[in-house]
Amino acid sequence: MAEEASPTPARLADIRREIDAVDMELLALLNRRAGLSMEVGRIKAAGEGIIYKPLREREVLDRLAARNAGPLPEAHLRNIWREIFSSSRALQRPQHVAYLGPEGTFSYFAGVEYLGRSVRFQPCRDLQEVFACVHDGQCGLGVVPLENSLQGTVGVSFDLFFTYDVRIQAELFLRVSHCLLGAVSSLAEVRAVYSHPQPLAQCGSWLREHLPNARLVPMESTAAAALRASEEAGAASIGNVSLAAMHNLNVLARAIEDDSGNWTRFVIIGPQDGKADSAPSPLPGHAGAADKTSLLFTLPDKAGALSVVLESLARAGINMRKLESRPMRGERWKYVFFADVECDLRQPSHAALVEELRTLCTSFRILGAYPTGPQLDRVHLENS
């Protein structure tokens, strides 16, 4: 008896027709959502002007994740909806986001991963220009590196919070994984390696083992290094894997960092809207509170001034996640403190505590209250 023909080609054709039909349904729903977003934009244009709502976006993501039965992985779901949010915000009002440029830096990729590709990214020469663009209203948001898990805080970022009246709207954690990129086809052809000083240091052991004779040349950014590698014979650069496509480079080696636990915390800054010390009205069915509040304060020059502030927080049952002191510019032997606490100090229940802290400090400012940021691991997604 002859075997029946395999049904695979016919079944594949049926599945593809089903996918095409689902795509049409998705297209109609996405356009319906886009129309609603544009209506929200028209309403906000006449009243509330804030477009970016990280608490609202987190609530939507968490609700979808809780109801997701699969097989779509949660990480994929969140990535898809971040792009939907990005499109929705752009439909309401074009978003300009300042970042430490040029295009291709880790600040750029942090912005793209978190805020989506519908944003108009504006490169800046340095972090001060990022802060100034947001403070002056040239950009609605800015992407700022705050600290690295291996090399500590980015001191200039903390200093600029004292100079510019901006607020933290959100945070994210981006895994930093370095690749060796070049126009050459093998490691044997590499005679010089260009990168920012931090990646050169973070990949030191790998470079000594695999390229002991190559010159290591520091550059102002990983993006500038990639451009240099694309123009110079025998040159390579260290940076994000996405720089390869941007500059037509080969990926000569992946994940060459000495420590795989290399993460950078970025914050999204926005202009001060005059309501930083008050909590937003909660959405129906939601608490509406942030997970974290960042503070900037100075203290009187007397014994125990800092301990009194810490005791006040401890009595209120508030955990402090970070405390950083920085020299105050223009004032010798005086310091400004940056702190993260695990609560939303804008909530009415903390009003008395906030007033007490104001009396204890010579200056006290809530930089922002925001949800705990996601950990964005592009390396994990690429390998999954």
β-sheet with 235-239: strand ranges across: 215-218, 192-195, 235-239, 179-182, 250-253
Q: What is the pTM of this model?
A: 0.84
| 130 and 151 Cβ atoms separated by less than 8 Å | no
**Residue 216, beta-bridge partner list:** 193
Q: In the predicted model, is pLDDT for residue 283 greater than 80?
A: no
Predicted pLDDT of residue 382: 46
**Interior angle at CA 47, CA 45 and CA 53, nearest 5:** 80
Predicted pLDDT of residue 97: 96
Residue with tokens 């490691």: 187
Summarize the confidence of residues 294-310 as an average pLDDT.
92
Predicted pLDDT of residue 260: 83
Predicted pLDDT of residue 284: 39
Predicted pLDDT of residue 51: 81
CA distance 115 to 268: 9
Q: In the predicted model, is pLDDT for residue 276 greater than 50?
A: no
Q: In the predicted model, is pLDDT for residue 270 greater than 60?
A: yes
Predicted pLDDT of residue 225: 95
Q: In the predicted model, is pLDDT for residue 181 greater than 50?
A: yes
- Rounded to the nearest integer, the mean pLDDT of the chain is 89
Structure tokens at 294: 């960042």
Closest of 135, 141, 134 to residue 116, by C-alpha: 141
Q: In the predicted model, is pLDDT for residue 281 greater than 80?
A: no
| 86 and 31 Cβ atoms separated by less than 8 Å | no
**pLDDT tens-digit series, residues 221-252:** 899 999 999 999 999 999 999 899 999 999 99
Structure tokens at 101: 């440029």
pLDDT band (50, 70, 90) for residue 46: low
Cis peptide before 102 (omega within 30 of 0): yes
pLDDT band (50, 70, 90) for residue 120: very high
pLDDT band (50, 70, 90) for residue 330: low
